[in-house]
Amino acid sequence: MRPDTPADHITEAERLLRTAAQYPEDHEPLFLQAAAHLELAGDRARATGLYDQLLSAPPTDTANPYLVKALKAANLWEYGHEAEARAIIDGIRVAGPLQAAPWQIVAGTLEAHDELEAAHDVLQTALTLLLAPGEEVPYATQSLLTGRHRVRRLMGHDHDAWDELADALSTANVSLDELHDPKRLWSLGSSDPGELKAEITRLRAELGTYRAALSRPFPVAVLHWPEAELAELLDAYPSLADEEYTTHTEHLARLEAALRDLHAGGTPNLGIVAGTVPSYEAFAASEAASPADPNLLPQYATTLAARGRAIPWPPARSAACWCGSGRAYRECHGVA
Ligand SMILES: [Zn+2]
Ligand SMILES: [Zn+2]
């Protein structure tokens, strides 16, 4: 189910908070996702309350304190607490975290409030920290390069080496230069204000998608059953066997294909969660449902992802494949 109305978002937030009570060790990703739903429902004050709860825990208990701070700042700025938001953002910039996500949220927040110069500075600082010359650019860092490319186009800067890198890494079917062309936004010659407005809306939506996706870690995760678990699952619940759940080899191939389809369709933040029969049975029991019901599988995957159990996909080409074969992704399921 994809929540759409404010009431749906509140219901989903409540469900995630109940899951957090059930799995306290996974409360951080569940809180972040619940807060995102509260923001979407317009209950920004309650979302701030969740961020504060995470930030008041001992530092060792919070896995991503800078991400939580960045999300809190983005949320505060949206409901009239600009000064507080700016103070948090300044703190993050000074601290210089080595993860891409907090920088992405900070830059996106500044850009959303038309502070292009500051957004550019933030992306510059982040990439200086995170880009290692000559090494493969991780997927999360790539979105910082893309954001910087967009901001620089809006500011009218010429391309530099990082812009060229952004262009080279882009796999979208429209080139970044076309997508980020400020003339599409501000073309003085355009006599059609409606057209101009549509472009602005489109670019805003692009930015909105990034922020929404990042504030909800791994919203789309596919379910991977390791070989022994798949055998045990189909043995215990033969009704689950279908074209996707047949042989283990076929199961793995279909997962990779499904992820590539989602990726090509522009779905950001993809991940893989690994299922085990005991945890699946426990989940079924908590939902008062039968494990033999195939409709339960996507809910199980969503819940594992919300608990922060997803590993991001795609892996780096040279990193170990997600399937656990021990081979590099490019020589295993990442083979072109
Ligand atoms: Zn370009
Ligand atoms: Zn593999």
C-alpha 127 – ligand 2 centre gap (Å): 30
Residue 37's pLDDT is what?
A: 87
Q: What is the DSSP letter of 237?
A: -
C-alpha 115 – ligand 2 centre gap (Å): 43
Q: How confident is the model at residue 214 (pLDDT cuts 50, 70, 90)?
A: very low
Q: Which two tokens stand for residue 116?
A: 């292009």
Contact criterion met (CB below 8 Å) for 105 and 71: yes
Residue 255's Cα: distance from chain center in Å?
19
Residue 71's pLDDT is what?
A: 94
SS3 273: strand
C-alpha 75 – ligand 1 centre gap (Å): 31
Out of 126-140, 190-204, 214-228, 231-245, which region has the weakest mean confidence (pLDDT)?
190-204
Q: How confident is the model at residue 172 (pLDDT cuts 50, 70, 90)?
A: low
Nearest ligand atom owner, CA of 334: 2
**Is pLDDT of 197 > 70?**
no
pLDDT 10s digits, 39-56: 988 899 999 999 999 999
C-alpha 175 – ligand 1 centre gap (Å): 8
pLDDT 10s digits, 269-317: 788 999 999 999 998 998 889 999 988 998 899 888 888 888 888 888 8
SS3 271: strand
Residue 216's pLDDT is what?
A: 47
Residue 14's pLDDT is what?
A: 93
Which percentage of the chain shows pLDDT scores above 70? 85
Structural domains of the chain in order of their starting residue, each with its CATH number: 64-215 (1.25.40), 220-331 (no CATH)
C-alpha 213 – ligand 2 centre gap (Å): 26
Q: What is the mean pLDDT of residues 94-122?
A: 93
Q: How confident is the model at residue 193 (pLDDT cuts 50, 70, 90)?
A: low
Q: How confident is the model at residue 213 (pLDDT cuts 50, 70, 90)?
A: very low
C-alpha 294 – ligand 2 centre gap (Å): 25
Sign of CA dihedral 96, 98, 104, 109: negative
Q: Nearest Cα to 253, choosing from 311, 171, 330, 332?
A: 332
Nearest ligand atom owner, CA of 148: 1
Residue 187's pLDDT is what?
A: 45
Residue 308's pLDDT is what?
A: 81
Out of 2-11, 149-158, 214-223, 232-241, which region has the weakest mean confidence (pLDDT)?
214-223
Residue 253's pLDDT is what?
A: 94
Q: What is the mean pLDDT of residues 195-215?
A: 56
Q: Which residues are found with C-beta within 5 Å of the ion, ligand 2?
A: 321, 323, 325, 332-333
Residue corresponding to tokens 């010429």? 158
- What integer best gives the mean pLDDT of the chain? 85
C-alpha 174 – ligand 1 centre gap (Å): 11
Does the bond joining 294 to the residue before it have cis omega, within 30 degrees of 0?
A: no
Residue 217's pLDDT is what?
A: 46
SS3 282: helix
Nearest ligand atom owner, CA of 272: 2
